[in-house]
Amino acid sequence: MKLKNPIQKLLSVCFAIAIWAFAPSPNKELTEVKFFVPVSYVNLPKELAIVSDPLQSISVSVELAKNELAQVHPSMFQVVIDLEGAHQGDKEYEISRKAVSAPDNIRILEIEPNLVNLSFEEIIEKELTIKPVFLGEPAQGYVLEQITMIPPSVRTKGLISELSKIEQLNTKAVNIEGIDSDIEMLAHIIFPKGVTAIEPAPEYYTVQITVGSEPINMRFLNIPIGIMNHEYVTKINPRSFNMLVRGPRSLMENFKKQDIQAFIDLEGYKPGNYKIKAPTVRLPVEIQIQQMWPPIDIWVKNQKIE
């Protein structure tokens, strides 16, 4: 039996087969899902820091088969932004589909937001001295004589906007209330936000404190003046002087006028009249002369001492 219109019938069969092959099956039905995906930043130049609030996650809409939905979770996605070539200032980065890492069987539909704005600032290094801060006072009759930080300074790094304004670092308050002897204490440095130590970088630094007796002033009057190394008959006027001295209380309380040695050395003086401001005085090294008066007149006569 001969078929009518064989070519037309063949085309109809092929078309039916094509529709069956490409029609979605119940198992391949697609659905759209939205995930919140973490954002990672890589290759940030070491001399820069991000000073804006960087985007931590974005919304990604994807299409996948319904029967695969249970096997997909947010940890399978990641957004990576490459910061290589960044420089100080503001820069806008586009988040393209290529920047999103996702399983191969998932199609990315939409990224929100698809732009991220970042601000960068230069990181610099700077040597800063350390200033100890104290709380309280030494015991009565004592004063701070010397304060030594170990180490005295620290090399730091931080944002140029912060470090350019800082010349020194302070310690947290060190309590010295009532101390009456030399002591070594630990001190913790206060670092401003964004500033860190490079070297040395211990958690604590050391402060050495030297205390001494409180200094007081004392006045001595009518201190006798001696004469030495004179070849000629000599007269001086006045024969005594007055002096104001300063020294530690512990030493000055027992210091007497008799402990002061005062003299005029006339070696090399020829006959004539002279005036000097004060005699030579020998005192313990802890005592400093504040004032001496009055000036002294010297008459060296043209008469040798026999």
Domains along the chain? 27-113 (2.170.120), 123-213 (2.170.120.40), 215-304 (2.170.120.30)
HSE value, Cβ hemisphere, 13 Å, CA-based, for 162: 19
Tokens 């180490």 locate to 151
Distance CA 106, CA 68 (A): 10
Strand partners, 121: 49
Question: Which amino acid, one-letter code, is at 98?
Answer: K
Lowest mean pLDDT segment, chosen from 60-64, 73-77, 128-132, 255-259: 73-77
| Distance, first Cα to last Cα, the chain | 175
pLDDT band at 36 (very low <50, low <70, confident <90, very high): confident
Lowest mean pLDDT segment, chosen from 18-32, 36-50, 103-117, 281-295: 18-32
- Mean pLDDT, the chain, integer: 86
pLDDT band at 207 (very low <50, low <70, confident <90, very high): very high
Total residues found in the chain within this entry: 306
Q: Is 279 a residue whose pLDDT tops 90?
A: yes
Distance CA 270, CA 228 (A): 14
Q: Is 7 a residue whose pLDDT tops 70?
A: no
Q: Which long-range contacts (CB under 8 A, 24 or more apart) does 277-282 make?
A: 278/241, 279/225, 279/241, 281/243
pLDDT of residue 5: 52
Q: What is the pTM of this model?
A: 0.54
Distance CA 6, CA 1 (A): 12
Query: Sign (positive/negative) of CA torsion 177, 207, 165, 117?
Result: negative
pLDDT band at 28 (very low <50, low <70, confident <90, very high): low
Angstrom CA distances, 67 to 21, 35, 44, stand at 19, 17, 40
The candidate with the shortest Cα–Cα distance to 206, out of 146, 145, 147, is: 147
pLDDT band at 108 (very low <50, low <70, confident <90, very high): confident
pLDDT of residue 69: 77
Tokens 């730091």 locate to 156
Q: What b/e string do you get for 62-82 counting C-beta neighbours within 10 Å, with b at 16 or more?
A: bebbeeeeeebeeeebebebe
